[in-house]
Chains A and B, each alone.
Chain A
Amino acid sequence: MEISARQVQKFNTRKKIIDTAYRIFSEKGFSVPTSVIAKEAGVSHGSIFVHFPTLNNLLVCLLSDFGDKMGRSLHILAKKCDSLEDLLNEHLNVLEENEAFYTRLISEKNRLPDEAKSTFAFIQSTVAFHFSSVVEREIEKGTVKKLPVHMLFNTWLGLVHYYLLNREFFAGFNGPVIRKYRGELLSTYLNLIRKS
């Protein structure tokens, strides 16, 4: 199939908008007007609306991309590994790569449009799905305490989110939190849930 120059340009513009929105939202939060994103991306304000008629469309697109990334890397790992430690490490890898964006997401989630909110819920459900499959195998093997899966999951998420939401205290303003605390978060959590 021939791809016309116009299609290439359309694709490039779309990508430029997505990349810029990701960066601006990460830096300034999700209430930045689309006109600012257009200006930063070097495209006309009108062309944002061609690609994303509403802010919600743009948000859902960014969230879906992030969710796909998370889903893919956890899926590959969860299938072949029996180690919760490896899975949590991978979870932290994806969060570290997207730390600013993810932190904005969890701190502003309740103010997002409904569809964006539910997209976020899918992402966490995917993480929970892989978490549960690996942790259940560890419980069966007797390496992890027999606690309800949802409490094991929520305790992990609660811990990580607490550090992210307070990143200015833990890592200094805008400093990366996960890189600094990965080892401590992981080893403490595993110590709490593992059978001695």
Chain B
Amino acid sequence: MEKEDDKSDRRKFLKLGALAGGVVLLGSAIGKAVSLDSTKETGEKVKVLTADGKLMEVDGCNMKHPAAVKLTNQEMRKGIEGKKFVMVIDLAKCANARKCVEGCQKMHHKQAPTEWIKVKRMQDAESLTPYWMPQPCFHCDNPPCTKVCPVDATFKREDGLVMIDNERCIGCRFCMAACPYNSRSFNWSEPIIPQGMEAAEYSIEKSFPAKIGTVEKCDFCPDMAREGKLPDCVTACPNGTIFYGDQNEDTVTNGDQTFRLKELLTNRSGYRYLEELGTEPRVYYLPPVNRDFPFENDTIVHNTEDYKII
């Protein structure tokens, strides 16, 4: 298990890492972002990944963040230009901390028992040691869910994301039946919106505010990516299990470590869950070899409360 001081150290690092991750994501040309002839130095050092895969530190003033432009929901159907989002989940690192689940619920204002990312206890055969498997939406490249939607309420974007327009969804739940991974959840009752946010305008990329009678799921947080931040499931994980990144830039990061996607998948024998279904997931798994933690069975059953029934 990790020691306390290690943890606090990591937290600090995470902050930087989150920014670094952002740069990796947004730095369509990292050279440009790190133009050194710039003006005032802030003294804040930021780690960035150069085009040849080296980490370097630059001053915060050199970071370019795109101005926050307000996008219409129609524009959000297109996706972020030039991106192909991916996720890599290192099963050797997962210790069933379930922080990704909580982080995600908090960020998206979801209450239990709805989990957009789940942690499953997997055991491939009785003779094999079980392992924990965090499971978000796979954002498949051949998505069975979008095909069946009768009203184009769930759709595939150019940046690889499978999104839902909760203002269009008719709640037929065909996509839930079609998803072989059960990644989708349904707003069975009037969703609970945190106080003060009732007036928020609906945004496809935020999947918020939720709408009763419609389907929702993990959205890969493109709104965060636009701001150069990592999704909460990534940053909330104390073990750095989840890596998020861009396939076009060939980089993924857990906020702490950054890797070349191809290299990581090759060196660690990355695979996709149920490849034979042909859904082409955008989420890769690294097999649970040389584990950071020995497998420990969970003594508590989580998430047992159903919705409050009126």
Q: Is this pair of chains taken from one and the same complex?
A: no
